[in-house]
């Protein structure tokens, strides 16, 4: 039996420390080979992933020795938590360590859309000097509509409020009398009202059956003429076919997407649109945020393998199957 399998790109001093303490196999491309992953996972006690490895019920049924899944991130759409729990496997994650990084990127995209920064950069590098063509708008006094007022949504709201924006939000699970909502003076609205009243709309919801295509052509048609749309949450919440149609009909002034319906993304009409910003899912990818993420997930994987309790977990803090084995030195 081997200790840890890493199936995606996870690097840093924390991973290096794990490798010094436990038997660790680093296979960052293994997520692309699910059958080989299943064959190899049979002998491991821990699996560490980001968001590309599909930790399915079928995969977990073929991992009898697995004790912990370390998810370096917050989204759980690639991990079948129910199946993991049924198998007694701890699911450790990092629910807030990347919050500031994603919120800052959202504000960066908002400003980039308002001032047409990427398009102006590309055009100037082609030798042009079209100052009037790239006239933008100020964001002070404009309304930001936030769909999903969780950690990232609240952090984005706080930053936007500091920049002079008005904030409205839609989230059926948030108490309108919560202290944070009142402190930030967030106006809670229905989704329809938010879309109709916002100059910028930003998505911050998880991917699940309730949020799949929560924003489609119909919702884009409800937005104010000249409004902007931003998604730094999950690609599945947006119907890209409807988005492309809305853009072709000039219903939106601009769009910024850090996430896509298919990742890595495939060629799309969005690639050719000057008022569309496309990024490769980099919301959590800052040196600061990744350091916090790796520190947390590596700490909890090590704890479980050493027979101790995880601190940041989704289901339970210790495996609920068999007798825990200790660290590498104790298995000899």
- Catalytic (active-site) positions: 234, 263, 281
pLDDT in tens, 63-89: 999 999 999 998 898 999 999 999 999
pTM of the model: 0.87
Residue 332 pLDDT exceeds 60: no
User: What is the pLDDT at residue 175?
Assistant: 87
Q: 223, 74, 92, 45: which is closest to 147 by C-alpha?
A: 223
pLDDT tens digits, one per residue of 263-305: 999 999 999 999 999 999 999 999 999 999 999 999 999 999 9
**Structure confidence at residue 327 as a pLDDT band (50, 70, 90):** very low
| β-pair type (276-278, 24-26) | unpaired
Q: Is 156 helix (H, G, I), strand (E, B) or coil?
A: helix
Ordered strands of the 254-257 beta sheet: 187-188, 166-170, 143-147, 200-203, 228-231, 254-257, 276-278
Mean pLDDT, the chain, as a whole number? 94
- Does a cis peptide bond (omega within 30 degrees of 0) precede residue 206? no
Residue percentage of the chain with pLDDT more than 70: 97
pLDDT at 147: 98
Reply yes or no on whether the pLDDT at 323 is more than 60: no
Burial class (CB in 10 A: 0-12, 13-18, 19+), 43: middle
- Give the pLDDT confidence score for residue 176 in this predicted structure: 86
**For the chain, which domains are there?**
2-97+287-331 (3.40.50.720), 99-278 (3.40.50.720)
Average pLDDT, integer, range 310-322: 92
Instruction: Note the pLDDT tens digit of each residue in 104-150.
Output: 999 999 999 999 999 999 999 999 999 999 999 999 999 999 999 99
pLDDT recorded at residue 4: 97
DSSP secondary structure, 243-282, as one string: HHHHHHTT--SEEEESS-SSSS----GGGG-TTEEE--S-
User: Exposed/middle/buried for 163, CB within 10 Å: 0-12, 13-18, 19+?
Assistant: middle
pLDDT, tens digit, 9 for 90 and up, residues 38-63? 999 999 999 999 999 999 999 999 99
pLDDT at position 322, please? 56
Structure confidence at residue 330 (pLDDT): 38
Whether the pLDDT of residue 328 is over 60: the answer is: no
Q: What is the pLDDT of residue 177?
A: 87
């Amino acid at each position: 039996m081997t200790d840890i399998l890493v199936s995606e790109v996870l690097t840093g001093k924390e991973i290096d420390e794990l490798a010094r303490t436990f038997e660790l196999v680093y296979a960052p491309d293994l997520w692309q080979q699910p059958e080989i992953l299943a064959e190899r996972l049979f002998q491991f006690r821990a699996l560490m992933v980001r968001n590309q490895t599909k930790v399915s019920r079928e995969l977990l049924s073929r991992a009898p020795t697995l004790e912990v899944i370390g998810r370096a991130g917050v989204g759980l759409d690639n991990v079948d938590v129910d199946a993991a729990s049924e198998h007694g496997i701890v699911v450790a994650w990092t629910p807030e360590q990347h919050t500031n990084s994603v919120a800052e990127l959202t504000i960066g995209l908002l400003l980039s859309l308002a001032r047409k920064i990427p398009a102006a950069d590309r055009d100037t590098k082609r030798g042009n000097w079209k100052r009037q063509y790239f006239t933008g708008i100020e964001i002070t006094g404009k309304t930001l509509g936030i769909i999903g007022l969780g950690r990232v949504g609240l952090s984005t709201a706080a930053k936007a409020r500091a920049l002079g924006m008005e904030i409205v939000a839609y989230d059926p699970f948030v108490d309108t009398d919560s202290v944070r909502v009142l402190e930030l003076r967030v106006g809670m609205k229905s989704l329809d009202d938010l879309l109709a009243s916002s100059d910028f709309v930003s998505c911050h919801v998880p991917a699940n059956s309730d949020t799949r295509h929560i924003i489609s052509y119909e919702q884009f048609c409800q937005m104010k003429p000249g409004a902007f749309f931003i998604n730094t949450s999950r690609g599945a919440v947006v119907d890209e076919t409807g988005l492309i149609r809305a853009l072709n009909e000039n219903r939106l002034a601009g769009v910024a997407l850090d996430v896509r319906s298919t990742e890595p993304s495939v060629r799309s009409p969005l690639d050719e649109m000057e008022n569309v910003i496309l990024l490769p899912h980099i919301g959590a990818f800052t040196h600061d945020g990744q350091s916090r993420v790796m520190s947390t997930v590596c700490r909890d994987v090590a704890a479980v393998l050493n027979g101790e309790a995880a601190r940041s977990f989704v289901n339970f803090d210790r495996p609920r199957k068999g007798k825990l084995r200790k660290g590498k030195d104790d298995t000899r």
